[in-house]
């Protein structure tokens, strides 16, 4: 199975991929456990904090059933660093030739970012049909992806950026959107207080967003 098909398969496992910014490495495992218990196995840990790589490593080693990936892969060096700690997939907010080349070299499936039709066509030329649409809401939202479905019927999008449960349901109603990325599943106050039951409940609700 090629990398593109692998990421398409991951996109079909649940309607929402939690997009996680973790500041405290000790929160990583219980947070992941709560999300997995709620039915969301595919988790994106963004490389926005100094502990992100360690969080990916701990989650991969200590949370059964999880599929943990690295998000905010902005530089070629990020792709290799994520692979070295056990990331199972990569997500980039945009795409450059050098970044795509390096993500290819890791052998991992990845979601490459695009916000315009031209960027999507550039990915399609490389055989990529699974795309992260970012930033989803500022870039045109549901109406934009609906418009792209005509000329680009084979592309599947994971929109991320400015999405809440109401907007998620609208995106997921589109035939070219198997999943969305969302950060609403982990409210800052719930994480700060260790209210993992609330996070699990939000994850469980998210699994029912796509009919």
What is the SS3 assignment for 71? strand
Which residues sit opposite 148 in a β-bridge?
none
CB 7 within 8 A of CB 89: yes
Q: Which residue has the tokens 């992260």?
A: 132
Q: Going by DSSP bridges, is the β-strand pair 90-91/156-159 parallel, antiparallel, or unpaired?
A: unpaired
Q: Which residue has the tokens 């991929």?
A: 17
Distances (CA, A) of 146 to 8, 150, 154, 182: 19, 8, 13, 20
What is the SS3 assignment for 43? strand
Q: Which residue has the tokens 């870039």?
A: 139
User: Is the bond into 135 cis (omega within 30 degrees of 0)?
Assistant: yes
Active site residues per annotation: 44, 132
- Among 59, 65, 26, which residue's Cα sits nearest to residue 45? 59
User: Is the bond into 34 cis (omega within 30 degrees of 0)?
Assistant: no
Half-sphere exposure of 25 (CA within 13 A, CB side): 10
């Amino acid at each position: 199975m090629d990398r593109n098909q692998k990421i398409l398969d991951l996109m079909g496992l649940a309607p929402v991929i939690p997009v996680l910014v973790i500041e405290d490495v000790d929160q990583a495992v219980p947070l992941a456990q709560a999300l997995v218990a709620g039915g969301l196995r595919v988790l994106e840990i963004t490389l926005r904090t100094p502990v992100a790589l360690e969080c990916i490593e701990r989650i991969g080693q200590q949370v059964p059933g999880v599929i943990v990936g690295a998000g905010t892969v902005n530089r070629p060096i990020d792709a290799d660093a994520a692979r070295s700690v056990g990331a199972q997939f990569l997500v980039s907010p945009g795409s450059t030739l050098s970044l795509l080349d390096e993500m290819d070299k890791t052998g991992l499936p990845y979601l490459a970012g695009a916000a315009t039709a031209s960027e999507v066509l550039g990915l399609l030329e490389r055989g990529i049909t699974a795309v992260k649409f970012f930033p989803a809401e500022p870039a045109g939202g549901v109406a934009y992806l609906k418009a792209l479905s005509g000329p680009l019927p084979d592309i599947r999008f994971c929109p991320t950026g400015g999405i809440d449960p109401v907007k998620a349901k609208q995106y997921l109603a589109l035939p070219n959107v198997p999943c969305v990325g969302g950060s609403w599943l982990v409210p800052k106050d719930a994480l700060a207080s260790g209210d993992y039951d609330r996070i699990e409940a939000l994850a469980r609700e998210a699994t029912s967003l796509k009919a």
